[in-house]
Structure 1
Amino acid sequence: MADWGPVLIATLLFVLLTPGLLFQLPGQGRVVGFTNFQTSGLSILVHTIIYFALITIFLIAIGVHIYTG
């Protein structure tokens, strides 16, 4: 049996938290920018911290597991 939980959670969070794809914190001239496809170094740092916090919560604290086979 393979545990696909960490792979699916990491992929989903990576796609959703890509700066500039759905939203960007901080935005260009605003606090939040939506679908502008632009990014900055500060935005990458903020999204990295959010990604790390969420993946830690889902994989270590909650322990999401999806088994196949």
Structure 2
Amino acid sequence: MMKDWAAPIIASALFAFLSPGLLFQIPGKSRPVNFLNMKTSMAAILLHTLIYALLLILLLVIFNFHLYLY
């Protein structure tokens, strides 16, 4: 029986890379975009959550990605 692994892999990767402060932070504390600062704010958390949800919907619902493994 084949299982579709696209959703958990894409969701995990997006969650890891879109964590505020890991790679970038929008909005930053002193600039519009900060890179690799490992700090966050409530505004950055909300904006990264919105970006995460939109990318997840785009990749899984609109582009309909699938990865079948045994």
TM-score scaled to structure 1, two decimals?
Answer: 0.98
- 1:21-64 deviation digits (Å, cap 9, x = unpaired): 00000011100000100000000000000000000000000111
Alignment of 1:15 with 2:1, yes or no, is no
Which 4+ residue blocks in structure 1 deviate beyond 2 angstroms? none
Q: Which residue of 2 aligns with 1:27?
A: 28
Alignment RMSD (CA, Å): 0.5
Equivalent position amino acid for 2:4 in 1: D
Q: Which residue of 1 aligns with 2:37?
A: 36
* Percent identity of equivalent pairs: 46
Q: Which residue of 1 aligns with 2:5?
A: 4
Q: Which residue of 2 aligns with 1:57?
A: 58
- Specify every segment of 5 or more residues in structure 1 that has no aligned partner in the other structure, as ranges: none
Q: Which residue of 2 aligns with 1:48?
A: 49
| Structure-2 separation of matches of 1:64 and 1:7 | 11
Q: Which residue of 2 aligns with 1:68?
A: 69
| SS of match in other structure, 1:7 | helix
TM-score scaled to structure 2, two decimals?
Answer: 0.96
